[in-house]
Amino acid sequence: MTFTFVPLNVVAAHGRTTTEGVSDLARRLARPRDDRWIAGVCSGLARRFGTSPNIMRLIFVVSCLLPGPQFLIYIILWALLPNE
């Protein structure tokens, strides 16, 4: 059994794409100004990985029920990720 990777052609709002077919806006990890609930970290991660912001928020809330440094990582990403 072999798997073949086929890149998807994702076009941003401005319409520019890179040579790999993924837009510069979708590739960059930043906190958007338009789709924030608290700090925009989940929305920025969702935009970067191509998922819905609500799905990313749900994953974060469910992960907070497990032991680990999830909340601390959220605070660190809030401080380190630039605004869009």
pLDDT at position 13, please? 45
pLDDT in tens, the chain (84 residues): 555 544 444 444 444 444 455 555 556 788 888 888 889 899 999 999 899 999 999 999 999 999 999 999 999 999 998 888
Is the separation of the CB atoms in 30 and 43 below 8 Å?
Answer: no
Distance of CA 58 to CAs 52, 65, 70, Å? 10, 11, 13
* Entry pTM: 0.63
Is the separation of the CB atoms in 47 and 26 below 8 Å?
Answer: yes
Structural domain spans, the chain: 27-80
Q: Is the dihedral of CA 8, 9, 14, 17 positive or negative?
A: positive
